[in-house]
Structures are given as structure tokens and as C-alpha cells.
Amino acid sequence: MLGLHALGLSPESVLFIEIILVCSALFAIFGGEPENRTQKTVLWCFGIVAALSLGRVILGPIPNVQPVTIGLVLVGATYGIRRGIGIAILITILSNIFLGTGLWTLFQAVGWSVIAIGGAIASNQLINEEKVMIGRLMIAGFIAAFVFDFIVSLSVLIADPNPSIFITYLITGLPFDLLHAAGNMVIAITLGSSMHRILTQSLSPTGLNIRGTPNESRVE
């Protein structure tokens, strides 16, 4: 994100981008069937956003270590692509209110949305008979760290569209990528089962569509 910090984007432009992102997220989460807009559905979704955002803010002093990536892998696997994207966007914007916002928020929102999509696509491999496979979740978290960091690193091309600078940027950021990957694996081991259990429990009382069979894909 160092590249985007050098850009003089006006606060108005940043606000406009974030308003568009929030509207898109709310439509993704609550659009469609009426049961997606019940009070319990709203509370659960916003609760998940608040919990993962708080976790990111609390762990902010530790570079690139936070629960959001693993959380969104599981959100995508449990809720599906559309809601996964919406929750990913809201988490990015809410946590950046405390950690710092700018044009990089857009790249982070895209990156974490891709992670949620990946979780939805890999749901059959990550969840078996409604139980999360911790080993596979660790692998997913390791891969997701590099995917997310690569997407966010694309921001440097806006400040300076020079391939050599971009490659140097990727190499310089490799230690932080490894911290992200290691943090994801630790969080998968320590919190993966609890996260999945909470997400699964949230489905029944809210009316959100739970998988009809254990191996039904969450791609929507």
C-alpha cells in the first residue's frame, strides 16, 4: 500500500468510492429474497462484520496478522459468494476507519472479496459433513495470504506503472506475506473450528440458505 499513500486523492473522492462499496455490499448481502432482510439476518451479518473488524484492529500492531482472511474463507464457504463479497467489503471499510483509509481500501476490498469467492468455490473441500477440515483450512489460509497481498500490491502500479518497481515491491513485501500466511495458519488451528461453528449456527435462526446436503456447493 506504500504506493497509494503517495497519491493525493481527495477525501471527497475516497468518500465517493467507499459509498459505492458500501451500497454494493449491502445489496449483495440483503438483496434478493425477503428472508435475507429479517432482523436476525441483519444482526448476524453485522455481528460477523464487527467481530472480524475488531479482531483486525486489535491485532493491528502485529504486521499482517489478523483473523479476517481465515474468517472470510469460512464466510464464503458457509454463506456463499454473494454474501461473502458483501461481508468482505464491509469489514474492509469498517476496520479501515480505525486503521486508515484511502484508495488502498478499494484494493483490500477486492482482495478479501476474492478470498471469500475462493472459500465458496472450495467449500466442498473445506467442509465435510458440516465439519471444517482444519488441515485444508490451513493450506487455504496460506495460499490466501499471498493472493490477497498480491492483489493489494497491484496498487503500486497506480502510483508508478513500472514493472521493475512492482517486482521490487513484491520482493520487499515477501516477509510480510510470510507473516500473513503464518498468522492465517495459526488462526486456522486455534479459531477455525469455533469460527465455523458460529457461522453454521447463525444460519438456522436467520433464514439464510444453508447447504441442503453436506457436499452442496456454496457457489451462488
Output the pTM of the full model: 0.89
Domains in the chain: how many in total? 1
Confidence grade of residue 36 (pLDDT, cut at 50, 70, 90): confident
Residue 185 lies in a domain: yes
Which comes out higher in pLDDT, residue 103 or 218? 103
Residue 87 lies in a domain: yes
Q: How many residues in the chain?
A: 220
Residue 218 lies in a domain: no
Tell me the C-alpha distance between 27 and 20, whole Å: 11
Residue 212 lies in a domain: no
Which residues in 31-46 are b (16+ Cβ under 10 Å) and which e?
A: eeeeebeeeebeebbe
Residue 213 lies in a domain: no
216 pLDDT above the threshold of 50: no
The domain that contains 113 carries what CATH number? 1.10.1760.20
Query: Which pLDDT does position 37 carry in this prediction?
Result: 75
Residue 3 lies in a domain: no
- pLDDT tens per residue, range 163-193: 898 999 999 999 999 999 999 999 999 999 9
- pLDDT tens per residue, range 118-139: 999 999 999 998 899 999 999 9
Coil, strand or helix at 208 = coil
Residue 144 lies in a domain: yes
- Residue 148 belongs to what domain range? 12-206
Residue 91 lies in a domain: yes
